[in-house]
Amino acid sequence: KAGVTQTPRYLIKTRGQQVTLSCSPISGHRSVSWYQQTPGQGLQFLFEYFSETQRNKGNFPGRFSGRQFSNSRSEMNVSTLELGDSALYLCASSLESSGADTQYFGPGTRLTVL
């Protein structure tokens, strides 16, 4: 079974621009979560989507947004990019069940903001 895929793998943007990252979950997985990884803050939860609805949200400004499509694919958008947004953005997918599902991660998108 194919794993979680993320596109693009690398991205370079300048301050003030916006960016959209894409994630395709493992087939049959209905939940998609996004995490930001930086050297200073480590891995931080951004948000989680299930059935096109955001179920959980981390402590990030409104510049960070996401959505999920009917096929469970997800996108996240960052508007008005800042230098501090440079990070590895990881997407994870999981089955829907009660309790905390195991999340399986993709290879990430490395965003550099200049």
Name which position in 12, 43, 83, 114 contacts another protein (CB under 8 A). 43
Residue 102 binds to another protein (criterion: CB under 8 A): yes
Rule CB under 8 A: is residue 104 a binding residue for another protein?
yes
x/- letters, 10..29, toward another protein (CB under 8 A): --------------------
From candidates 72, 76, 85, 106, binder to another protein by CB under 8 A:
106
Buried b (16+ CB within 10 A) or exposed e, 21-33: bebbbbeebbbbb
Query: Does 64 participate in binding another protein (rule CB under 8 A)?
Result: no
